[in-house]
Amino acid sequence: MVLQTKEVVQQFGGLTAVNRVSMQIEDGQIVGLIGPNGAGKTTFFNVITGVNTPTAGSVHFMGEEITGIPAHEIVARGIARTFQNIRLFKNMTAQENVIAGMHTESQANLIDAIFRTKRHRTETLACEQKADELLELVGLYAYRYELATRLPYGHQRRLEIARALASSPKLLLLDEPAAGMNEQETADLLEFIRRLRGMGYTILLIEHDMKLVMSICENIYVLDHGELIAQGAPEEIQSNPRVIEAYLGKEG
Amino acid sequence: MNSIYQALAKRQGLVQILLLAAAAVFPLLVSNPYVIRLSILSGIFIILSLSLNLLTGFSGQISLGHIAFYGIGAYTAAILSKNFGLNFLLCMVAAIVVTALFGLLLGLPALKLGGYYLAIVTLGFSEIVRLVEINWMELTNGPLGINGIPKPALFGIKLSSPRAYYYMCLLLVVLTIVVIRNILESRIGYALGTIRGDENAAKFMGVNIFRYKIMAFMVSAGIAGLAGAFFAQYVTFIDPTSFASDQSTLVLIMVIFGGIGSLPGSVIGAVVLTLVPELLRSLMEYRMLIYGVVLVFMMLVRPEGLLGKINFKHIRQRCTAEPPDGKEGS
Ligand SMILES: Nc1ncnc2c1ncn2[C@@H]1O[C@H](COP(=O)(O)OP(=O)(O)OP(=O)(O)O)[C@@H](O)[C@H]1O
Ligand SMILES: [Mg+2]
């Protein structure tokens, strides 16, 4: 088992954003997390990635408890994420953004840096090479020297994924990766996520694009008002009356 | 203008060598002690603005009290060399260590505070340091200052001619540039860049924000302390007036003028803003007025500073690589 959460609760003052959510993700799975706006999906990501310590419950990753561990240590253990609203580093190029994501992959300390020791030099070369490979993977190699903010929106989303992959994660959390993408870009993204699975990544994704979720996720969790209201294969979810009600209720 | 930057970026190595060569032969061509003195002063301000830029420009932590580290370095070197007869090299090392520790001390509250609050804390810190310098008579001799600080000597040879000081200063400037550049080009530089860019995203890159902020404070303080140690052994007399907070503001202005986050910018900023007031000396009381007008004009025309938005590494990379799709590049 890659990820297991047990009865996770996250309260903000009087608001219960996530209420007793238990989830299990097996190695190599692509799991979807859906639900209406404000359901608590991003908050759940925040708990897993160490932004918030949950009010109650626990999170286990690769068999070890990671509840309440600081965010940067969780990255080092192998969980990387992207953001609902893109958060690339503005004054860095595409390549630099990806290299920034490799912090946990290298060891050079202040002394190595100042004296440019062998360790520093080998690591730097390796990082650049790996960054270029990742940029190639997401189809942005030609843009590697462009400032991240100058890339078109769809490219920025892919760059965020490349940056998340830079830390060689075991589990990848994608928060609405298709948001703002046109149909073609979404289709490409779908293809790309399938490729990632082929490469051995385990993926948990939040997405509002139902077509995308239903076609790649083997297991889907549905949140509404912080509660887990359904869980299962895409076909089960599509016909689940509670899910339909949650979505229609919101729209109506 | 863009083509000038491109030309410079492509020949960066050559430009650096030429500048260094020019700086090296300069005192051989010019023997006017006043000019040499001004050059050394510029050198000290280059070191100070580079170190402040590391902290404020590259790590995003505002400091309005940078001169305090300079002062601590100066007093450390002065006391150690005068009262304990320590060799000037050891004095400099000691000054770096002591100021770096004060950097740690100031860095700790900085972790909880950002922006304006940090600015106030650093300002307060430098006031405290100044008050200690004025009032702790036994240690600092108060407002009277410390005089007769021994001049540097190596293997019994006095290094106290203006030229010797000039070359020592040049060496320290080059050392500072190399050290800061090496740090910035390493994974530590990337880590600082993520903190400056978006602290909330930085931690998801695996960056231990606590550690890197402290590191930035310590390195920045240590380098300012080195400048202070050199200053003390150069002028051989220090008193608290050299380390008042208007000097902090001056260094900050140099950094902003040259461009936040630009190393060449800091060098230019420090040199220009050290020399301009001197060149205007003949205009007497209009001097500071003109100085102010130049700054205001600069901020209106180029709020990011001279080189604030010019990243030579990016420019060089873009000219050497093929442009994407042939349309996107510029
Ligand atoms: N740090 C916080 N402090 C207070 N309230 C918060 C915080 N983070 C989230 N919330 C609240 O928790 C609830 C769940 O928000 P969350 O962002 O997790 O929803 P979501 O499912 O991701 O929605 P969307 O689809 O719009 O992204 C919202 O009511 C939100 O206002
Ligand atoms: Mg969300």
Tally of CA atoms within 13 A in the half-sphere of A226 that contains its CB: 16
Burial label, B160 (beta-carbon count in 10 A; 0-12, 13-18, 19+) = middle
| φ/ψ bin of A21: left (φ > 0), alpha (ψ from -120 to 50), beta (otherwise) | beta
Closest CA–CA distance from residue B42 to any residue of chain A (Å): 24
ipTM above 0.85, yes or no: yes
Q: What percent of chain B has pLDDT over 70?
A: 97
Mutation to probe ligand 1, out of A9, A10, A11, A12 (largest number of atoms < 8 A from CB): A12
Average confidence score pLDDT of chain A: 93
| A112: chain B residues, CB-CB within 8 Å | 186
Contact B328 A143 (CB under 8 A): yes
Q: Which residue minimizes the CA distance to atom 27 of ligand 1?
A: A37
Testing the interface with B: which of A92, A146, A156, A158 to mutate, by most B Cβ within 10 A?
Answer: A146
List Cβ neighbours of B257 (8 Å cut-off, separation of 6 or more): B265, B269, B272, B273, B295, B298, B305, B306
Q: What percent of chain B has pLDDT over 90?
A: 49
pLDDT at A250: 53
Question: pLDDT band at residue B324, thresholds of 50, 70 and 90?
Answer: low
CA distances from B83 to B76, B77, B80 (A): 11, 10, 6
Q: Per the structure block, which two tokens stand in for A245?
A: 């009600």
DSSP string, B66-99: HHHHHHHHHHHHHHHHHHH---HHHHHHHHHHHH
Which residue, B51, B16, B43, B50, is CA-closest to B27?
B43
Per-residue pLDDT tens over the stretch B92-105: 999 999 999 999 99
Q: What is the largest CA-CA distance in chain B?
A: 70
Contact A92 B324 (CB under 8 A): no
Q: Per the structure block, which two tokens stand in for B216?
A: 């930035």
CA dist B51 and B61 (Å) reads 12
Per-residue pLDDT tens over the stretch B244-278: 888 888 899 899 999 999 999 999 999 999 988 88
Query: Sign of the CA dihedral B125, B130, B131, B133?
Result: positive
Q: Quick check: B156 pLDDT over 80?
A: no
Q: Quick check: B138 pLDDT over 90?
A: no
Q: Searching chain A, which residue's CA lies closest to the CA of residue B185? A: A113
Distance A35 CA to ligand 1 centre (A): 12
Testing the interface with B: which of A114, A115, A120, A125 to mutate, by most B Cβ within 10 A?
Answer: A114
Least confident stretch, A26-35, B155-164, B286-295, B319-328: B319-328
| φ/ψ bin of A247: left (φ > 0), alpha (ψ from -120 to 50), beta (otherwise) | alpha
| B185: chain A residues, CB-CB within 8 Å | 113, 124
Contact A96 B193 (CB under 8 A): yes
Contact B225, B69 (CB under 8 A): yes
List Cβ neighbours of B321 (8 Å cut-off, separation of 6 or more): A144, A145
Q: Which residue minimizes the CA distance to atom 28 of ligand 1?
A: A38
Sheet architecture: strand order including A15-25: A64-65, A56-61, A3-12, A15-25, A227-232, A219-224, A30-34, A202-206, A171-175, A79-81
Testing the interface with B: which of A145, A158, A161 to mutate, by most B Cβ within 10 A?
Answer: A145
Query: Which domains does chain A show, CATH number per domain?
Result: 1-78+169-252 (3.40.50.300), 90-166 (no CATH)
- What's the whole-number mean pLDDT along residues B194-211? 93
Distance A42 CA to ligand 1 centre (A): 6
How many other CB atoms are found less than 10 A from the CB of residue B329? 15
CA dist B168 and B283 (Å) reads 32
Rg, C-alpha atoms of chain B: 20
Question: pLDDT band at residue B323, thresholds of 50, 70 and 90?
Answer: low
Across the interface, which of B188, B194, B198 has its CB nearest the CB of A110? B188
Kindly state whether A146 is in contact with chain B, defined as any CB-CB distance less than 8 angstroms.
yes
Q: Quick check: B155 pLDDT over 80?
A: no
Give the pTM.
Answer: 0.91
Across the interface, which of A87, A91, A114 has its CB nearest the CB of B183? A114
Distance A166 CA to ligand 2 centre (A): 23
Average confidence score pLDDT of chain B: 88
CA dist A3 and B23 (Å) reads 60
List Cβ neighbours of B211 (8 Å cut-off, separation of 6 or more): none
**Long-range pairs of B322-325 with CB within 8 A, sequence gap ≥ 24:** B322/A142, B324/A142, B324/A143, B324/A146, B325/A142
Question: pLDDT band at residue B327, thresholds of 50, 70 and 90?
Answer: very low
Q: Per the structure block, which two tokens stand in for A247?
A: 């979505």
Per-residue pLDDT tens over the stretch A129-155: 999 999 999 999 999 999 999 999 889
Question: pLDDT band at residue B328, thresholds of 50, 70 and 90?
Answer: very low
Distance A83 CA to ligand 1 centre (A): 13
Q: What angle do CA A62, A63, A68 make, to 5 degrees?
A: 85
Per-residue pLDDT tens over the stretch A192-243: 999 999 999 999 999 998 889 999 999 999 999 999 999 999 999 988 888 8
Q: Quick check: B148 pLDDT over 80?
A: yes
Contact B187 A123 (CB under 8 A): yes
Which ligand minimizes its atom distance to the CA of A227?
1
Per-residue pLDDT tens over the stretch A64-96: 999 999 999 999 999 999 999 999 999 999 999
List Cβ neighbours of B234 (8 Å cut-off, separation of 6 or more): B40, B165, B169
The residue count of chain A comes to 252
CA dist A215 and B306 (Å) reads 53
| B317: chain A residues, CB-CB within 8 Å | 93, 145
Mutation to probe ligand 1, out of A9, A10, A11, A15 (largest number of atoms < 8 A from CB): A15
pLDDT at B329: 41
Distance A175 CA to ligand 2 centre (A): 7
Helices (H) and strands (E) in chain B, counts: 15, 4
How many other CB atoms are found less than 10 A from the CB of residue A149? 12
